[in-house]
Structures are given as structure tokens and as C-alpha cells.
Amino acid sequence: MPGSAHRTLRGTTEPATAGRTQPARAFPVTDHRLIQISDIHLSSDDLEFAGARPRDNLVAGLELLGEVDLAPDMLVLTGDLANTGDPLCYQDLAEIMHRAAESLGAVVVYVPGNHDDRPEFRRHLLGQPPDRAPINQVHWIDGLRVVLLDSVVIGQEHGELAEETLAFLRDAVAEPAADGTVLAFHHPPIPSPVEPMAEIMLHHGDRLAEVLVGTDVRLIISGHNHHEELGALGPVPVWVSPATAYRMDILSREAVHALPGCALSQIDLTPAGVTVNVIHVPVGTP
């Protein structure tokens, strides 16, 4: 569970609200903390672009989490976990994340991205038989529901939510959860300022927006762009996490220009609402 400063928000009227009427709460939530880790791009030659060190960056990020008292409940890995779907990279990732989960006392969940290979992802990260069907999941942190969807279109860089995935979501959020729902998938439903990335965002986001009407989804989190971005799909806020492998220069506009960098997202859900903060991980300059 989150640390003590974080926990002061839970169920207390002291001291800031003493003598005043408590504001109405949309969700009777307890505190939940997620750490989003996106676009790891593990590769056997450790080179996603010149000088990048994806594995070193991931390890540095996890070590940083171990050094500070963030006490996350869940680590959510939002896709492009292995750069070319290499089974050895998934084995390596599973071992790294198993050790991190044990030391942090957090659950780890995995979402696929366009660089991932569904059968190998299933086999090594989920312990399931290899299968090419979309990887859709529901996890719980007490009363908080975390729905993970597969936005991958096999052989394509852009994302879509297949009919079976939208049906899965419809079923998953048919009844409200005590603390609401966080929805995670790889391709952002909002455009990047970098044009080539905007072209390969989630297509047909309007279909998703229709499913979300009247549900308890409090936040959408995605990755893919390698730069942070905040937006909304209808009334639901959308957070696009920065990547661990490298960062995208948003000023490149018409081209994809990668820069060294590594960052994680800290996502807190409290009675006061939702906050997202970026944790920058110091990594070496190539």
C-alpha cells in the first residue's frame, strides 16, 4: 500500500477539512498506486536506436523504485516490451520483473504493443499456451478494477480494438467497481504532435468512447509515443506514458527523432481523484 504521506488522504477529516462540510466524492475509494512502465523494447542486441540501452534503462528504473518508498500496488507494463518479440527477451523480462515484484511487494501486469509477439508474450509473461487471439485481462487491487486490452493489429503499427476486445470491455465494466476502473492499452486514443506517431495511434477511438459511456472508467493509460501527453476521450482522462527505452522529441513534428531518456509514470487514485506524475530515471548519455 502507498506510503504514509499518501495514506493521510484516506478517511480523515483532520486537519484541513475540520469544521467544514466534506465535498461529495464521486468514488468511495481507498488509495491505490500504480507505476506504469512503458515501451521497454528489450532486444537481444540492446540497440533500438543508436546508443540506446533498453535493458540498462529498465533495470535503472526498477532500482530507483527500490531506493525510494513509493510502495506501489501494481506495476503496469503497457506494451512494446520486446523489440522484435524475441522469446529470450520475454524470459529475461519475466525474471527481471519477478525479482522486482518480490522486492517491491507489487503485482506485475503486462499489456502487449505493436512490437510484441502474442504467442511468445503469452507463453513467457502469462504462463499460457501460445495463441494469436487478443490478450485482454481484468485484474483487481481491492476495489479498483484494472482492465488491460490488446490494441495490436498483427502486422501493423497502428492500433485498433477488435470487436471481441470491445465486447470483452463491455462485459468487464458492466457493473461498477467499488473504487472505479483504470483502463490500459498500448496505442493512445489521442494524437501525438509528432505526425508519424499520430498516424499510428489507436484508430476508431469513437467505438471505444461509445462503450465507455455510463461506465466507471476513471482513467485511460497508454504508451507507444515515447513522450508523455495528457488528453481526454470524451469525459475520461487519457494519460500517455513516457518510455523507458528512449524518448521522442515532440518538436520533431514531421519526423521521428529519438533522444536518450527513461521515465516511469506514478499514478495515484485517492478519494480526491487521480494524479499522474513522471519519474525521470537518470541514465547514461550514449
Distance CA 111, CA 270 (A): 24
- Which of residues 33 and 224 has its CB atom nearest to Fe ion in the complex? 224
- Which of residues 30 and 38 has its CB atom nearest to Fe ion in the complex? 38
For residue 263, list its beta bridge partners: 280
Q: Minimum distance from CB of 262 to Fe ion (Å)?
A: 13
Q: Minimum distance from CB of 141 to Fe ion (Å)?
A: 26
Check if the beta carbon of residue 150 is closer than 8 Å to that of residue 183.
no
Q: Minimum distance from CB of 164 to Fe ion (Å)?
A: 21
Q: Contact positions toward Fe ion, by CB under 5 A?
A: 39, 80, 113-114, 224
- Which of residues 2 and 223 has its CB atom nearest to Fe ion in the complex? 223
- Which of residues 43 and 114 has its CB atom nearest to Fe ion in the complex? 114
Q: Minimum distance from CB of 87 to Fe ion (Å)?
A: 19
- Which of residues 32 and 41 has its CB atom nearest to Fe ion in the complex? 41
* Nearest-5° Cα angle at 177, 189 to 38: 35
Cis check for the bond before 15: say yes or no (omega within 30 of 0): yes
Question: What's the Cα-to-Cα distance from 285 to each of 51, 73, 230, 259, 260, rounded to whole Å?
Answer: 8, 31, 27, 10, 7
231 Cβ partners below 8 Å, 6+ apart?
A: 188, 190, 237, 238, 240
3-state class (DSSP) for residue 35:
strand
Q: Minimum distance from CB of 115 to Fe ion (Å)?
A: 6
